[in-house]
Structure 1
Amino acid sequence: MTRNTAKLGGSASNVVVAKVAHGLMMMTWKPTPVPDEEAFAAIKAGIDALPPGVKMILNSGEFYGQGFTTANLELIARFFEKYPAYTDRTFLSVKGGGVPLSLGVDGSRENLRRSVDDILKALRGTKRLDLFEPARRDSKYEIEHYAEVLNELVKEGKFDYIGLSEVGAETIRRAHKVMPVAAVEIEVSLQAYEQQTKDVIATCKELGIPVVAYSPLGRGLLTGQIKSRLDFEEGDFRRAFGRFQDDNINHNLKLVETLTAVANRKGITVAQLCIAWVGALGDHVIPVPGSSNIKRTLENLSAGDVELSADDLAEIAQLLETYPRKGARYVDGVAEDKLELWN
């Protein structure tokens, strides 16, 4: 089975990965975590579908667990303990640098080191930490500070490559001058495609840096299976997001309905259409949908082979203009909706 592929950037430019990556966050960051065997089967299926020499990006975070714990990393460790032969077939990207047990950020040298060490401790030596990225910007520190600390950690062998998360175009330009950026992670979807997003994608293309596009399915909205915020179990953080509030979701679902018609004509699912659209934004754009079951993993992965014509893209652009997202990416009124800039 052949798959489209992409390359990473910076000192990782020799690493070939699947065009569609695998996000693991919702395996553990919800009130009822996915059972190990179900999660393992979903991860394994995606890797097994790839040709030799192509790695699957597994996207995780230090805090991807209820109460901001290392539950996701512990799940990964258990997976590789059971399937050690898969370690070299994957590329593990982990966000960190937060305040333990909270969503706060702390860009100090001490906390960045603590974060990386805690990630390694949770992995228990089962898998190399391929890439580390600060999850959010700490406004007390400039990019040069981050570069100094992260470059030190790479030289010490803590991890191999440096990434950035939720940053703007000018930040990326500054970072590119002082450290080898292997990837930039931001949210990209038909529910998250503002001018700042377009600027990041264009800048990364110019600089030869891949964009790891998380939530290409709009936190589940673009699958067509979410009709109300109450469809998420009680305690799921997505219930609070602006785009899922009653007045907003009714508007946002109109886009899903029209996209479904386009997908039906092409003989694919609406989820595949949305993932393919993100991938069509550039050879350097790598969609990262999440999945906890085999069927969905393979469906998502096959979206990397879907080709959208110029007419398809024009039609989707018109739909996007007609039905722009209502409600915040996160919680209405929270500044985090804007990419943090180190300008």
Structure 2
Amino acid sequence: MTISTTTLGGTASNVTVAKVAHGLMQMTWTPSPVSDEQAFEAIKAGIDAAPTGSKVVLNSGEFYGTNPRTSNLELVSWFFEKYPEYADRAFLSVKGGTTATALEPDSSDANLRRSVDTTLEKLRGKKRLDLFQCARVDHRVSIEETIGTLATLVKEGKFDHIGMSECSADTLRRGHAVHPISIVEIEVSPWSYEEETKKVIATAEELGIAVAAYSPLGRGFLTGSIKKPEDLKENDLRRRLDRFKDENLRHNLALVEALTTIAEKKKVTPAQLSIAWVSALGKHVLPLPGSSKASRTLENLSAGDIQLSSAEFAEIQKVIDGHEVKGHRYFGEAINAHLWG
């Protein structure tokens, strides 16, 4: 299997990585976490498949767990404790910067230090923290102050590179002016391609920043496996999202069906088509799907090597333009208020 590669940005511009990154959130932030061994095999599969001399971006979070909320970091630590030879073959990106007990952004100097120190404590030195980013932009603290604090922590040797997440193009430009940003993480998929999405991707290209495009499969919806709310378990968090509510879901299925038709002609899965489309948005754009199975990790990785002709790309774009997506990306005013910070 051929795996395409690209480089990161900012202070990590010399780091070569697989074109498709690996999100670890659903390994632990779910009512039914997978076993450690299954998670380990999923991580190993991606790293083993990456070309010699390249790394795989592993995306974790300080709060990606339910009991405890740091369980994703602990899983990462256990993995590298068991397989130390993989440490230098992975690029670990961690989101944090929320309050210790909730998911409210808190970019105060004290809390950012707490968040980074908690991350390092849970990693136990088993893996270097390559990049740290605030999960959301704190409206109470200027982005210049936030990035300035993180730059100080870089100088202290706590981690190596700075990222940003769920920010606007203007905020990204301001943050980058304080310290080079290596990765900006935003939601990108055929059902999440807003005007601000395009602006962030263009600004990142201009400034030499990599884009980690999270949820390229629309939280699983674009795979075609979810056709009604009952296809999700009762405690599945997606049931709370507007786009998965009954009326909206039925309407949004038209987009999936149209993409599936194109995928069948291309002889790829709908998931691979979505990842390939996201990847085609730019050399600097890394699709960031989640995976808890080795087979799915490999399927996702291989999608980064699928080439779309100009006609195929235009056909997909026509489908996206012709299908209005119903429902917000998230739920609740408090969460929506922090999108495109």
Give me the TM-score of the superposition, normalised by structure 2.
0.97
Matching residue's letter, 2:261: A
8 Å contact 1:22–1:57 — kept in the other structure?
yes
Task: For residue 98 of structure 1, give the secondary structure of its aligned residue in structure 2.
Answer: coil
Q: Tell me which residue corresponds to 1:330.
A: 330
| Alpha-carbon shift at residue 105 of structure 1 (Å) | 1.3
Task: For residue 255 of structure 2, give the secondary structure of its aligned residue in structure 1.
Answer: helix
Q: Tell me which residue corresponds to 1:203.
A: 203
Q: Tell me which residue corresponds to 1:213.
A: 213
Q: Tell me which residue corresponds to 2:112.
A: 112
| Alpha-carbon shift at residue 122 of structure 1 (Å) | 0.9
CA distance in 2, matches of 1:139, 1:313: 37
8 Å contact 2:9–2:208 — kept in the other structure?
yes
CA distance in 1, matches of 2:228, 2:117: 40
Task: For residue 287 of structure 1, give the secondary structure of its aligned residue in structure 2.
Answer: strand
Task: For residue 339 of structure 2, give the secondary structure of its aligned residue in structure 1.
Answer: coil
Is the counterpart of residue 48 in structure 1 residue 13 in structure 2? no
After superposition, the C-alpha distances for 1:219-240 in whole angstroms (9 at most, x for unaligned) are 1100111122332323222110
Say which is worse superposed, 317-326 or 209-218, in terms of deviation.
317-326
Is the counterpart of residue 74 in structure 1 residue 74 in structure 2? yes
8 Å contact 2:2–2:302 — kept in the other structure?
no
CA distance in 2, matches of 1:333, 1:134: 20
Is the counterpart of residue 163 in structure 1 residue 175 in structure 2? no
CA distance in 2, matches of 1:237, 1:115: 25
Is the counterpart of residue 176 in structure 1 residue 188 in structure 2? no
After superposition, the C-alpha distances for 1:127-155 in whole angstroms (9 at most, x for unaligned) are 00000000111111111111221111001
Q: Tell me which residue corresponds to 2:194.
A: 194
Q: Tell me which residue corresponds to 2:292.
A: 292
Matching residue's letter, 1:308: L
| Alpha-carbon shift at residue 100 of structure 1 (Å) | 1.4
Q: Please report the RMSD computed on the Cα atoms of aligned residues, expressed in angstroms.
A: 1.3
Q: Tell me which residue corresponds to 1:28.
A: 28
After superposition, the C-alpha distances for 1:245-296 in whole angstroms (9 at most, x for unaligned) are 0011111111111111111111110000000000000000000011111111
Residues 143-292 of structure 1 mapped to structure 2, 5 A cutoff: 143-292=143-292
Task: For residue 297 of structure 1, give the secondary structure of its aligned residue in structure 2.
Answer: helix
Task: For residue 213 of structure 2, give the secondary structure of its aligned residue in structure 1.
Answer: strand
Task: For residue 164 of structure 1, give the secondary structure of its aligned residue in structure 2.
Answer: strand
CA distance in 2, matches of 1:338, 1:178: 21
| Alpha-carbon shift at residue 2 of structure 1 (Å) | 3.0
Q: Tell me which residue corresponds to 2:5.
A: 5
CA distance in 1, matches of 2:182, 2:44: 25
| Alpha-carbon shift at residue 335 of structure 1 (Å) | 5.7
Q: Tell me which residue corresponds to 1:136.
A: 136
Number of residue equivalences = 341
| Alpha-carbon shift at residue 313 of structure 1 (Å) | 1.1
| Alpha-carbon shift at residue 180 of structure 1 (Å) | 1.2
8 Å contact 1:263–1:270 — kept in the other structure?
yes
CA distance in 1, matches of 2:264, 2:124: 45
8 Å contact 1:31–1:234 — kept in the other structure?
no
| Alpha-carbon shift at residue 191 of structure 1 (Å) | 1.3
CA distance in 2, matches of 1:142, 1:259: 41
CA distance in 2, matches of 1:266, 1:305: 13
Unaligned runs of 5+ residues in structure 2 are: none
| Structure 1 residues 338 and 110, CA gap change in structure 2 (3 angstroms) | closer
Unaligned runs of 5+ residues in structure 1 are: none
CA distance in 2, matches of 1:107, 1:94: 15
CA distance in 1, matches of 2:217, 2:244: 13
**Percent identical across equivalent pairs?**
60
| Alpha-carbon shift at residue 333 of structure 1 (Å) | 5.0
CA distance in 1, matches of 2:320, 2:337: 19
Matching residue's letter, 2:133: E
| Alpha-carbon shift at residue 82 of structure 1 (Å) | 0.9
CA distance in 2, matches of 1:308, 1:149: 41
Give me the TM-score of the superposition, normalised by structure 1.
0.97
Say which is worse superposed, 224-233 or 105-114, in terms of deviation.
224-233
8 Å contact 1:10–1:182 — kept in the other structure?
yes
CA distance in 1, matches of 2:4, 2:185: 20
Residues 301-312 of structure 1 mapped to structure 2, 5 A cutoff: 301-312=301-312
Matching residue's letter, 1:296: R
Matching residue's letter, 2:123: L
CA distance in 2, matches of 1:213, 1:17: 14
| Alpha-carbon shift at residue 67 of structure 1 (Å) | 5.7
CA distance in 1, matches of 2:337, 2:240: 13
Task: For residue 218 of structure 1, give the secondary structure of its aligned residue in structure 2.
Answer: coil
